Amino acid sequence: MTQTATQYKDRIQLPFTFDAEKMLAEFEALKLGGFEYYNVIPLRSPSHLVDAAIPFPPPAEDYADGSWCDWLHTKELEISPYIKSIVAQFQEHTKVTLVRLLRLAPNSVVKEHRDVTLGLEIEKSVIRLTIPVLNKEQIEFYLNNTIVDMKPGQCWYMRLSDPHRVINNGNTERVNLTIDMIPNDWIRNLIAESQ
């Protein structure tokens, strides 16, 4: 991946606040079963995974920027009107690709890793916004070895191409809404102004 010249802070809280209780109610209404360690609920996915009638897209030279396929809402997003309205808010300004609810079980750890294509400084990639839904005090999200103090309903851009890890020391699961998008001038300016 090629790096661009502009450098942003590794974590930036954006000027949005969403209703965590409404998001949590829609998450719980999905009537999800138990799971071990880590679970992903896709809300927006490659179109051929949502609708089997859509053919698999041809091979691409680069999959990182999300342009290799079309993207569709899943049935889980269609029955979650508030979360769907959050996604639509970003779709008004840029192309939204992958959207998921990420669940981390109680007393679990996501080991330190890098998502090498998730940073504004990376050319031809997407960025990920994170909105905590269920995030109790015993959740620790480390980015570059320092905690990012995210509260439910806040919206964060983080440079996830840097090392990060998560520790859930609590007895409840952690749930985050993540929204991936192709960066354009609108989101770059918003992130720069929020630094």
Q: Which CATH code is given to the segment(s) 16-30+63-194?
A: 2.60.120.330
Residues 6+ apart with CB under 8 A from 68: 57, 60, 62
Residue pLDDT, tens place only, 27-72: 999 877 777 778 899 999 999 999 999 999 888 877 788 888 899 9
pTM for the model: 0.93
pLDDT (0 to 100) of residue 186: 96
Give me the pLDDT at residue 5, please. Answer: 53
